[in-house]
A and B are shown apart, each in its own frame.
Chain A
Amino acid sequence: MNCDYCEIVEKGEKLFEDDKLVVALSPVPASLGHVLVIPKEHFTILEQIPDFIAGHLFNVTNTVSTSVFETLRVHGINIIIENGISAGQRIAHFAINIVPRSENDGLGFNWTPKKFDDEEMSTVELQLKEQTDTIGGFEKEEKKALTVDDAHETIPTNEDDYMLKQLNRLP
């Protein structure tokens, strides 16, 4: 396994680190101060990342981008995630790009608006709505996962239970 970002996580030069992620300068920066927020675990795309790690990644991104903005005194910040090869992802390890921007820096992350007629837009709306119906369980899911984990340690195993019952039965 040779993953450039796993390498950074393991032995690269880091700006910040906690138990879930590292923050490092991009080895191929778009501008001076281009920073990456990388989860320590090797996830390829956003969809693989557990909700609570995704949330944490974003929070750190927010803090770091504020720091970059204030420290380097740039004019703006772009936060870009290339999720999938079609989106320009070059390294198979999820990362959030924090790209400092200055006026007239020539970095055009811009698009010419496309036009779709109302029918097409409505179809897309319906298609998406069908899939978004199920969104909303994540917070509960995450907390449930945690409590189950906690409970796992305290709840006696079936075997203990059985033995306890047996004990209680003793006259």
Chain B
Amino acid sequence: MVTEEELSQMSPEEIAEFQKQNCVFCQIASGKVPSKTVYSDEESIAVLDINPAAKGHILLMPKEHFSVMPQLPEELAEHLFMVCKSLSQAALKALNCKGTTIFIANGVAAGQKAPHFMIHIIPRNDDDGLSMEIPSKSFPKKDMEAVGAILKKVLAKKQKVDAEVVKEEKAEPAKVKKTKTKDSSKKKKASNKKKGSSKKEAKKEKFDLDDITKVLGD
């Protein structure tokens, strides 16, 4: 085992490597730890949860080690969700259940127990006694409006920065070309590439923390 002290001296890369080596789900993905695999392809694997909420509780995860969802590359996220859809369908057919709950926990506070991103697919039946229901609460209108306004601003900013990143990318190779309709064509490209650059952008951007503290302070 590694001591605390050794751990504190590791570089972030080394810690990531250490986590990978000790991740039980990576070992499941590579077949070192036996599991009941219900589906597997090049990028993803789906196994039965050994601590299931219901019969047929499936864990779908990328074979590569990602701790949380924001780290997932765009294409992999898309692929995972398409597999997730198919698995939900498979569960409905195979187990004769009446619905599925698809559940992702990001962060310990959200109930994440292992540092490997995964999607839970839980077969559901009427009166199965699972308390997975999302409660309905109400919050002061003022707070809702404030949160809405901030998120709207952040998402718009994100979109705008993405568009600019794409513009830059596009401008370099195509400097010579000057089109009359550059505005519309750029916008099109931007929307296509939007999410590809969103991760880079997310790190770059500093959010307006003053706005948030105002809300939270209320």
Q: A residues engaging B (CB < 8 A)?
A: 13-16, 18, 23, 25, 28-33, 35, 45-47, 49, 51, 54-60, 62-89, 97, 99, 101-103, 105, 107-111, 113-114, 116, 120-122, 124-125, 127-132, 135-136, 138-139
Contact = CB atoms under 8 A, between A and B. Distances in A.
B155 A64 contact: yes
Interface residues of B, number: 87
B95 A15 contact: no
B101 A83 contact: yes
A46 B102 contact: yes
B48 A111 contact: no
B82 interface: yes
A57 B143 CA distance: 27
B170 interface: no
A64 B133 CA distance: 22
B147 interface: yes
B7 interface: no
A101 B107 CA distance: 9
Q: Considering the complex of A and B, which 8 residue pairs feature the smallest CB-CB distances, nearest first? A: A84-B99, A76-B107, A76-B110, A55-B78, A75-B109, A113-B51, A58-B81, A131-B90
Contacts of A88: 101, 124, 132-134
Contacts of B105: 76, 78, 109
Interface string B59-97: 000000000011010100111111111111111111101
B21 interface: no
A130 B215 CA distance: 51
Contact of A135 (B78, B81, B90): B90
A10 to B, nearest CB: 18
Contact of B90 (A30, A99, A132): A132
B106 A110 contact: no
B103 interface: yes
B152 A107 contact: no
B54 interface: yes
B134 A116 contact: no
Given A15-B155, A59-B195, A66-B202, A71 B207 contact: yes
Most central of B58, B122, B151 by chain A CB within 10 Å: B151
Contacts of B189: none
Contact of B135 (A18, A51, A107, A135): A107
Nearest to A70: B207
B193 interface: no
